[in-house]
Structure 1
Amino acid sequence: MKRSHIVKLTMIVFFSLGSVGVVGGSFFLRRAFSSSSQSQVITDISRYQEIRQQLWQNQEAIKHFPAEIPKDTENLRIAYSPGVSQASIFFQARLKQSPAEIQKLQKHYRKLAKHQYRGGNSNDHTTFPNGVPTTFFYTSDAGGDSFPPSYEILVLNAQDKGTPGFKWNHGNSYGVAIDNTSSEIVYWSEAW
C-alpha cells in the first residue's frame, strides 16, 4: 500500500470515529439534560411527612401546614415540586375537614393574613394594586390552575427578592386558600 492510501484510510477512520463520538455524545447529553430539566411533581400522599420535614428547605414558609394530617381528613391531595433551573418550587396540601373546623381555621388565618383575594391564581393576584404573587391550584381535581371564586386566598407572607425594575422576579409566598362551601383548605408555599 502506498503511503497516501494509509493516510487517507487513517483519516477516514478518524472522521468516522469522530462522527460517532459527536452523535453519541450529543444523544447522551440531550438525555441527561432533558431528564434533569423536567420537574416531576410528587402527589403521593404517603410522602407528606418526608416533604414537610426533609425536602422543603424553608421551614418558616410551611410552619402553618399541619404537623400531621388530622385523622378526620377527607379528600387529601398534595403537590410538591422541587423545581429545576428557573422553575418555581411549590408545596400544597389540600384537605377536607368539618365545616366547623374550616370556619375556625378561616377565622384564625384571616387575622394573620397580609393580603386577601377571591379565586384566581398568582398571575391574577400580582396585577391587583399592591398585589403579590400567590400560587396556582396545583391540587385541583379539574386540572385548572386557578382557584374558583368560592376560595378565599389568604397570604400569610410574601417576600420580593427581585431586582430594581424587575419586581417579583424572585421571591416567595405562603398562605392558605379556604373554601367554606366544600369545607376545604389548601395550605401552600411557593418560591421562584
Structure 2
Amino acid sequence: MNLHKVSSDFKKAPFPAVMALISFVLFVFIYYFITVRSVKPYYFMGLIFAIPFASFAAITIFTVKEKLKSKVAVILTSVLTVIMPIVMCFAFIFMAMMASIDTVTDLSKYHRVLKLKDYENNELIKHFPSKIPSNAKDAIFNYQPGFLQGGEEYRLKFTTDVNTIESYTKELSQIAKWIGKSSNREVEINGVEMVSFDNFGYNKLPLDFTIYLIVSEPYKPFDWNHGELSLVAVSKQRSEIIFFAEDW
C-alpha cells in the first residue's frame, strides 16, 4: 500500500474520513452488544447502525475521487454528524425496548439467558440447572426481562425421574432458608404468595409441592412492592420441579 497516496487522499477529505472511522468503531461496539450480548440477537436489524459509517465513507470516497467538492463534503458531514447520532439513539432505544418487553420461551435460549446473567455468581439463579437435563420432559421455560417497573423473571418447569428429584431435594435442603407448603403462614411473610404459577397451569400451587425458599429480600421489611425472591417447588407425587426467580 502506498502510504503517501493514502496520506494525500486523507488530506482531501479529513473530516468525513475521521467521522467514518469513529462511526465504524461505534458500529462494531453496538453491533457486538445487540448480537453477542443480547438474549435475542438482532443480526439483521442491527445493521442499521452501519448507516453512519456507510454515509461518511461514501462522502470520503466521492471527495477523494473529486466527484464531490470539499466544501460540500464538509457541509454534508457536519449535517450528518448532528442528525445521525439522534437517529441512531432513537433506534437503539427502540431496540432496547423491544428486547425488554419480549418474553423468551424458546428452550434453546435457556442456557444463553443464564450465561448472559452470570448465573454462577447470581444468587437468584445460581441454583438453576446450568442446562435443561436430558431426561427432562414437558419442559417449559419463561424469561421476562426487566423493564421500567416490571420485574425480571425466570421460570423453568419440567418433569423428571425419581432419582433426579431426590438429588435436587437433597441439594436444595442444604441451601434453602425455609422449606414448607403453600398453606404455611411463612408463605405470606416471605412474599411467596405473590408468585404466580399460571404459566405452568396452576392457579394456586398444589399442596403436594414442597417449597424450597432460596432468596427472600423485600425492599423494606414486609414490603413486597419491590424485592428479590427465588424458590424451587418440588412435587415427588408428580415428579415435577419448578424453578422461579424474580427481581422487581
Counterpart of 1:45 in structure 2 is 107
Counterpart of 1:153 in structure 2 is 211
Match of 2:146 among 64, 79, 83: 83
Counterpart of 1:177 in structure 2 is 233
Give 1:56 shift.
6.9
Counterpart of 1:16 in structure 2 is none
Match of 1:96 among 142, 159, 175: 159
Counterpart of 1:20 in structure 2 is none
Task: Tell whether 2:131 aligns with 1:68.
Answer: yes
Give 1:84 shift.
2.2
Poorly superposed stretches of 4+, deviation over 3 Å: 55-58
| Higher RCO (CA 8 Å, separation ≥ 6 residues) | 1
CA distance in 2, matches of 1:73, 1:63: 19
More strand by percentage: 1
TM-score (norm 2): 0.52
Counterpart of 2:197 in structure 1 is 137
TM alignment of 1:107-118, pairs within 5 A: 107-118=170-181
Task: Tell whether 2:122 aligns with 1:59.
Answer: yes
TM alignment of 1:120-131, pairs within 5 A: 125-126=187-188, 131=189
Summarize the Cα distance change of 1:161–1:63 in structure 2 as closer, same or farther, 3 Å threshold: same
CA distance in 2, matches of 1:114, 1:148: 21
More helix by percentage: 2
* Higher gyration radius (CA): 2
Can you list the C-alpha shifts for 1:153-180, whole angstroms capped at 9, x where unaligned?
1101211223x7x723321011211011
CA distance in 1, matches of 2:152, 2:118: 9
CA distance in 2, matches of 1:59, 1:78: 18
TM-score (norm 1): 0.66
CA distance in 1, matches of 2:147, 2:232: 24
Amino acid at match of 2:104: I
Amino acid at match of 2:151: S
Give 1:119 shift.
3.4
Paired residues of 1:154 and 1:175 also in contact (CA < 8 A): yes
> Any gaps of 5 or more consecutive residues in structure 2?
1-93
Paired residues of 1:93 and 1:139 also in contact (CA < 8 A): no
Counterpart of 1:28 in structure 2 is none
Can you list the C-alpha shifts for 1:124-183, whole angstroms capped at 9, x where unaligned?
922xxxx2123321541x2x4432222111101211223x7x723321011211011111
CA distance in 2, matches of 1:189, 1:138: 15
RMSD over aligned Cα, in angstroms? 2.7
> Any gaps of 5 or more consecutive residues in structure 1?
1-31
CA distance in 2, matches of 1:148, 1:159: 24
Give the SS at the match of 2:127.
Answer: coil
Amino acid at match of 1:107: K
